[in-house]
Amino acid sequence: MDNSCKNQQNVVTMSNYQPHSGYAPLSLVEAYWDALRAGREMPKRAEIDPRGIESALEYAFILERVAPGVARLRIAGSHLHDVMGMEARGMPLTAFFERDVRTRVAGLLEEVFQTPGVAEINMHSTGSLGQPALDARMILLPLKSDLGDVSRILGCLVTLGELGEVPRRFDIRATSMRSLSGGPVPHGAEPRVPGFAAPKAPFVAQHTTEPEPESTKKRPPYLRVVQPDE
């Protein structure tokens, strides 16, 4: 991981943690992230110290948002290199997934950044010749950049089973998402109604007595006969 941050206060003691037990590295990384929050919505990227997650370091990674729905690996543990069979840094996160679910992954990334929230992904890679079936899980934890925008993610990817021939790519079995504010996570905007006014009520003619035609109205005479004795 990145050794640029050596601030001792970011090394959180995890003395009760039992390492390398199934998906336990996911819990370690989330517990470290949560401890750094210290009551805030989320920690900053600069606060992440690799010594705080030493037991899970090989499974951890940091993403940077570079476009809507696109986040690239800026830091990646050795396990991610093993899964891809090559250097994983610089790759988009979607490279770990089959093509037909990459749009779904992109949408999930945007939910993490925009909500913001924590996402968990239950993954599976179907077995084939030289590649045994493989289960995996991933967690995505939002971080603020030094500028204060939510454009970084601390993540963790753990696979269970033999990797076999690489690269390995995964389908999605299930996802979960929780908002950091405690409210419901939006699943798409509600359809907008054009304009601000309420719909026009239909015109209903009022039943009134028809006006008397002009020709039948009594008009005062233009001339008036005046009697001499008046």
Q: How far apart are CA 84 and CA 165, in angstroms?
A: 10
Q: Which amino acid is at 106?
A: A
pLDDT in tens, 135-187: 999 999 999 999 999 999 999 999 999 999 999 999 999 999 999 987 556 55
Q: How far apart are CA 138 and CA 136, in angstroms?
A: 7
Backbone torsion region of residue 105, taken as left when φ is above 0, otherwise alpha when ψ lies between -120 and 50, otherwise beta: alpha
Higher pLDDT, 220 or 193: 220
User: What is the pLDDT at residue 49?
Assistant: 97
pLDDT in tens, 17-66: 444 459 999 999 999 999 999 999 999 999 999 999 999 999 999 999 99
Sheet of strand 171-179: strand arrangement: 70-76, 60-67, 150-160, 134-144, 117-125, 171-179
Higher pLDDT, 12 or 54: 54
Candidate from 30-39, 117-126, 215-224 with smallest mean pLDDT: 215-224
Q: Take residue 57 and report the two structure tokens written for it.
A: 């370091």
Q: Take residue 70 and report the two structure tokens written for it.
A: 């696109």
- Is the pLDDT at 193 greater than 50? The verdict is no
User: What is the pLDDT at residue 182?
Assistant: 74
- Is the pLDDT at 85 greater than 80? The verdict is yes
Q: How many CA atoms lie within 13 A of 21 on its CB side?
A: 6
Is 21-179 assigned to CATH 3.30.450.20? yes
Q: How many CB atoms lie under 10 A from the CB of residue 185?
A: 17
What number of helices (H) and strands (E) belong to the chain?
3, 6
Listed by start position, the domains of the chain span 21-179
Question: Partners of 140 in the beta sheet?
Answer: 119, 155
The label of the residue with tokens 């800026």 reads: 74
Q: How far apart are CA 147 and CA 105, in angstroms?
A: 25
Q: How far apart are CA 195 and CA 110, in angstroms?
A: 28
pTM of this structure = 0.73
Q: How far apart are CA 164 and CA 128, in angstroms?
A: 10
Average pLDDT in the chain? 82
